[in-house]
Structure 1
């Protein structure tokens, strides 16, 4: 049986704590859509296709390396569609350049089909106080 959204989310959590910036390539559908509606100015709000997003993720990780020490799941919600999960989570850790610590809260809408991510829509709290 193919992984559902909860299993994919757990793989994302484990990978992020191990140093991966995005879920592993094999977890993405080739035609996946990735959206960041509140992306900071100058950063894309949408990516179409696995290759486009993973190229961005690799560049972003190289330019702004971070190391997350804590991934706290604040809430998980099922949707009417069994392929959809809504998650709220908090990440904490230092930026590897300069060592400044930060905390950010995210809300993620994750849609999975046939064990692959087809839609990733993530909202990040960009104005919350940082530690």
Structure 2
């Protein structure tokens, strides 16, 4: 990651660690950032795509092939002030490459993450799936990648 801000709270630290592990493709370590019953949500998932995963097994099953499909970097991370030290709201930009095609994509994210004792209890990830779908070669190819 470039231009990484200083994390002031455990929740902010969890977000930065989350991004580092995605960049490194360390999905098992990434899943372990969550509590055993943690939730990962994608409110803008396209129709037919799953939008909620709960527990380590479900989250790992969904994300396990991420490093086989995508190479990503994140930058321009901005934390928004909140009064709860176990909550982080952040905006950041991502750039990536679809490994099978070499197609590049850009994405702007808004993440809302609740933590407990430094571990993620709920992660709501707001991003535009159309940009990723186009980079993966269209809706059908993207669905196959997500469901494989």
TM-score (norm: length of structure 1): 0.83
- The answer to whether the 8 A contact 2:22-2:30 is kept is no
Structure 2 CA distance for partners of 1:9 and 1:22, relative to 1, 3 Å: farther
- The answer to whether the 8 A contact 1:12-1:23 is kept is no
The residue number in structure 1 matching 2:114 is 111
- Which runs of at least 4 in structure 1 moved beyond 6 Å after TM superposition? none
Residue aligned with 1:24, SS: helix
Taking the aligned partners of 2:49 and 2:88, their CA distance within structure 1 comes to: 25
Taking the aligned partners of 1:15 and 1:53, their CA distance within structure 2 comes to: 14
Of Structure 1 and Structure 2, which has the larger fraction of its residues in helix? 2
Taking the aligned partners of 1:26 and 1:105, their CA distance within structure 2 comes to: 25
Structure 1, unpaired ranges of 5+: none
Q: 2:19 aligns with which of 3, 13, 21?
A: 13
Question: In angstroms, what is the RMSD of aligned CA positions?
Answer: 2.4
Q: 1:29 aligns with which of 3, 24, 35?
A: 35
TM-score (norm: length of structure 2): 0.74
Structure 2 CA distance for partners of 1:22 and 1:99, relative to 1, 3 Å: farther
